[in-house]
Amino acid sequence: MSKESESSNNVSLENEERRKFFGKTALLGAGAVAAPMTATMFATMAKANAAEAANSATIHPGELDEYYGFWSGGHSGEVRILGIPSMRELMRIPVFNIDSATGWGLTDESKRIKGDSAHLLAGDSHHPHMSMTDGRYNGKYVFINDKANTRVARIRCDIMKTDKITTIPNCQAIHGLRVQKVPHTKYLFANAEFRIPHPNNGLNMDDVPGYYTLFNGVDAESMDVSWQIIVDGNLDNTDADYTGKYAFSTCYNSEGAIDLTGSMKAERDHLVIFNIERIEAAVKAGKFITLAGSDVPVLDGRKGSDLTRYVPVPKNPHGINTAPGGKYAVANGKLSPTVTVFQLDKFDALFEDKIKPRDTVVAEVELGLGPLHTAFDGKGNAFTTLFIDSQVCKWNVEKAIQAYNGENVDYILQKLDVHYQPGHNHTSMGETRDADGKYLVSLQKFAKDRFLQCGPLHPENDQLIDISGDEMKLIHDGPTYAEPHDCMIVHRSKVKTRKLYDREDPTFAGTIAMAKADGVNVHTDNKIIRDGNKVRVYMTSVAPAYGMNEFSVKQGDEVTVVITNLDQIEDVTHGFCMVNHGVQMEISPQQTASVTFMADKPGVQWFYCNWFCHALHMEMRGRMLVEPA
């Protein structure tokens, strides 16, 4: 242990003993003699108590959390919002999954958003990241990827709903995902992981050397794919710098293998660096091809390309994380006990061929077994998850560079046990210029013996760690359902949500346009429009009643029910559930929502409000009368 660490530990222990002492003296009965409190001791105690209270995970009734945490739901296909530091789950945002509470995947609006993938009922959401302006969160969007079905999605932060989903062509399995930080989020960077033949039409499946995958630039506003870059290897994670010039991705399987053993032979794989300005210029100049079935510009970024540079790093690297100051980025070795530190301002010289690829590396130091991801506190310290060791390692970046250069300095400051096998971690505001060094979340993949047994399937484990002091302190430990893959922590001041929907919100603009074509004002009219065997039922709702108690259709009709919630109280959400038809949806205040289904059962079919809205909620119901065919 260094003298600095030893000194800080002694101070910490001294403060702890003082707190214990004062706690005991406060309990002394009448007549007991307490030691006199000096001004220095009082100040020390007050400072310690204030620091402890400021970073307490306890949020009392009526209090609000300081941060929003956006959690990927992994193979549940959703995004979850947690309050931090309480770690209370506040909301679940359905994205790639089906959600019966909101009707996501059932309603006409959600099917339009899902587009060509509306028939897919599952997803694997991995990496949530918020849009930025000048390297700071702007609270506009959160983006998330679907590894299972090669999609990316966008969530509007004003309503916390998914508003765009894009299927990436020419690829399989979008894994790494990050945003362009500067000057604003023009692009969403998305890694396709698996190498496939092109065209993938079943005629060249044995041409393994010809397989390749693609790095994708997605327009953050339109959510269209702007360009794709062919690369060597399998792309893993990605990040971007603080100049807007570069994005970079870790790549494994430089061997080009299709089996486990073959993809682990090389001692080094690589970090591939993408020059965004050169890519844009090449697209503008028409120096691209297109692949079968897509008109997206495709450029060759394999080794030797002017668009990319490949830096060798050990071994099967996984996470790549940019430090808040924008000076360094860290690649995590996974199958090597090392992390590799890059100095980002050297990338200009690299692309001008003034230096060699490894000259961008300023440190490569050992931390422990299985380094996967690194987060930062904005104070020069880094926190790396060690999967095999089940630890988080706190280390100092500048000291690591000194040690790499031969100086006798201890760059590892602390190791904290976490339970068990941590993957991603994230610090409060840690991927922006505003990293504040208050909290670290560590996401564990295993949790045996941590919680009550609930059968063969175990929960996984979120742990919240206070990093505001010299030492990491675990302050929350809690189970989470599949899967806490990744998260991000945003100060609540960055997020401005609506209390009510705008009546012209683009989410349901298509439904309102349909109503106008039918001559219906969705905010005033309760009407039935019959178009052959298609029936459109328009109704309003005000607690505790729908604007229409019953409507008649014929067996076999395709029925679309459109409901507009006219309530103006922010928590009076209504629902619509058609019994025995697998149909239900949410309609929040001032929202218009619709759902389409077949009236395939003759007789009386009841519908009701399935979101509690009023003392007479149970009475909010009506009948669909279905004449037999």
Question: Residue 300 is inside which H or E element, if any?
Answer: strand 298-300
Residue numbers of the chain with a pLDDT score lower than 70: 1-55
Is it true that the peptide bond before 483 is cis, omega within 30 degrees of 0?
A: yes
Task: Give the residue from 117, 115, 129 showing the smallest Cα distance to 79.
Answer: 129
CA distance 606 to 460: 41
Residues in contact with 427: Cβ distance below 8 Å, sequence separation at least 6, in sequence order: 375, 376, 377, 378, 383, 435, 437, 438, 439, 440, 441, 467, 489
Provide the residue ranges of all domains of the chain, joining segments of one domain with +.
168-317, 511-627
Q: Is the dihedral of CA 489, 98, 143, 217 positive or negative?
A: positive
Architecture, CATH, for domain 511-627: Sandwich (2.60)
Residue 58: Cβ-neighbour burial (10 angstroms; 0-12, 13-18, 19+): exposed
DSSP assignment string, 201-227: SSSSTT-GGG-BEEEEEEETTT--EEE
CA distance 204 to 202: 6
The runs of H, that is alpha helices, within 487-623 are 509-517
* Half-sphere exposure in the Cβ direction for 580 (13 Å, CA): 10
